[in-house]
Amino acid sequence: MTFGEKLKKARTQAGYSQEQLAEKLCVSRSAVAKWETDKGMPDIENLKATAQLLNVSIDYLLDDGNMLSMSVIKEPINLNSYTKQGKCRSKQDAAAAAKFPQAEQIYALVRKKKLSKFEHLLEWTAMPTYGLFEAADQVNNNEAYYLVDTDSRQYLVKVSKEYMETVEMTRRITEKKFVIGNNKFQRLYTLK
């Protein structure tokens, strides 16, 4: 599915018309129509807002590898109610382990932003030793990521201070390093 097809499907499942979505995003209806016909893309702020309004992940909207399913569960959590124990190195680890007590494996992941060609070029020419884009991404990202294996399914889980987001994978990831949308992931350690 293309970005536009995913956007249209998510919009209709959320019960919004093009006009209603445009109004909530403070853009024109024709802008939404352009996005849905793959004749344009929203800027990053509108992409974030769209994903939040439609209760889908940005990765889902942008990923063309069909690794993520449409089923995204986003639930509020209180990290203070979890304690580090066993192989858990953080409260986020403890939250992921508590959510999936029957999991066969839970892998803690490190996420890095997949740079665009322009960002690569700019970083290579203007600031080759600093890694400005990667550093800025890490400073702004306070989330922990996990790959959870159950007997029949695999999930990508994101834990922040306020919520846990669980996305079912459409195909099993076996690689130590993998890419989903604009994110590069690498397995770090196992919780189980």
Q: Which pLDDT band holds residue 38 (cuts at 50, 70, 90)?
A: confident
**Residue 65, in any domain of the structure:** no
What integer pLDDT is reported at residue 129 of this predicted model? 52
Residue 7 phi, psi dihedral angles, 5° rounding: -60, -45
What integer pLDDT is reported at residue 188 of this predicted model? 93
Alpha-carbon gap, residue 184 to 20, rounded angstroms: 34
Rg (C-alpha) for the chain, rounded Å, is 18
Residue 77 sits in the same domain as residue 52:
no
If one counts the domains in the chain, the total is: 2
Residue 168 sits in the same domain as residue 76:
yes
Residue 101 sits in the same domain as residue 152:
yes
Residue 42 sits in the same domain as residue 126:
no
Residue 77 sits in the same domain as residue 162:
yes
Residue 15's CATH number: 1.10.260.40
Residue 51 sits in the same domain as residue 75:
no
Residue 34 phi, psi dihedral angles, 5° rounding: -60, -45
**Residue 61, in any domain of the structure:** no
Mean pLDDT within 10-16 = 92
What integer pLDDT is reported at residue 124 of this predicted model? 60
Tell me the per-residue pLDDT of 66-114, one tens digit each, with 9 for 90 and over.
555 556 788 999 999 999 888 899 999 999 999 999 999 999 999 887 7
Residue 49 sits in the same domain as residue 102:
no
In this structure, which amino acid lies at residue 101?
P
Residue 42 sits in the same domain as residue 101:
no
Mean pLDDT within 45-74 = 79
Alpha-carbon gap, residue 112 to 131, rounded angstroms: 12
- Whole domain around residue 8: which residue ranges? 3-56
Q: Which pLDDT band holds residue 137 (cuts at 50, 70, 90)?
A: very low
Alpha-carbon gap, residue 61 to 177, rounded angstroms: 21
Residue 110 sits in the same domain as residue 186:
yes
**Residue 62, in any domain of the structure:** no
Residue 48 sits in the same domain as residue 121:
no
Alpha-carbon gap, residue 145 to 108, rounded angstroms: 6
**Residue 64, in any domain of the structure:** no
Say whether pLDDT at 145 is over 70: yes
Collapsing DSSP to helix, strand or coil, 135 comes out as helix
